[in-house]
Structure 1
Amino acid sequence: MAQLPDEADLARWDDSRSRQWAERACDVTRGFLWAYSPGSEGRNDAVLLVVFELVTNAIRHAEGLTDFRLDPGEGCVIVTVADASQRVPQERDLDVQRPGGVGWQLIRELASHVHVELVPGGKTIQAIVPLSD
Structure 2
Amino acid sequence: MVPGPPHSKACVVLDGDDSCIAFARHWTVDYLTQLKDDHGPAVSERARDLAQLVVSELVTNAYKHAPGPARMELHATGDRLHITVCDSQPVLPSARAADPERVGQHGLEIVAAITDSLDIQPEAGGKCITARLPLTDTPTTTGKAV
1:60 paired with 2:45, answer no
Alpha-carbon contact 1:54-1:81 (below 8 Å) kept: yes
Structure 2 unmatched runs, 5+ = 1-16, 138-146
Q: What SS is found at the alignment partner of 1:37?
A: helix
Q: How does 1:5-44 map to 2 (within 5 A)?
A: 17-18=17-18, 20-38=19-37, 40=43, 42-43=45-46, 44=48
Unaligned runs of 5+ in 1: 1-16
Number of paired residues? 115
Shift of 1:120: 1.2
Q: 1:129 aligns to what? A: 133
Normalising to structure 1: TM-score of the pair?
0.77
Q: Secondary structure of the residue that 1:117 maps to in structure 2?
A: strand
2:140 maps to what in 1? none
What secondary structure, in the 3-state scheme, does the structure 2 residue paired with 1:72 have?
strand
**Residues 15-64 of structure 1, C-alpha deviation per residue, up to 9 Å, x if partnerless?**
xx43x211100110000111113574633211111011000011112334
Counterpart among 103, 106, 110 of residue 102 in structure 1: 106
Q: Post-superposition shift, 1:91?
A: 1.7
Percent same amino acid among aligned pairs?
A: 30
Q: CA RMSD in A?
A: 1.9
Q: TM-score, normalized by length of structure 2?
A: 0.70
User: 2:60 and 2:53 mapped to 1: Cα distance?
Assistant: 10
1:89 to 73, 77, 93: 93
> Quick check: 1:65–1:81 contact (8 Å CA) kept in 2?
no
Secondary structure of the equivalent of 2:136?
coil
More RCO (CA 8 Å, sep 6+): 2
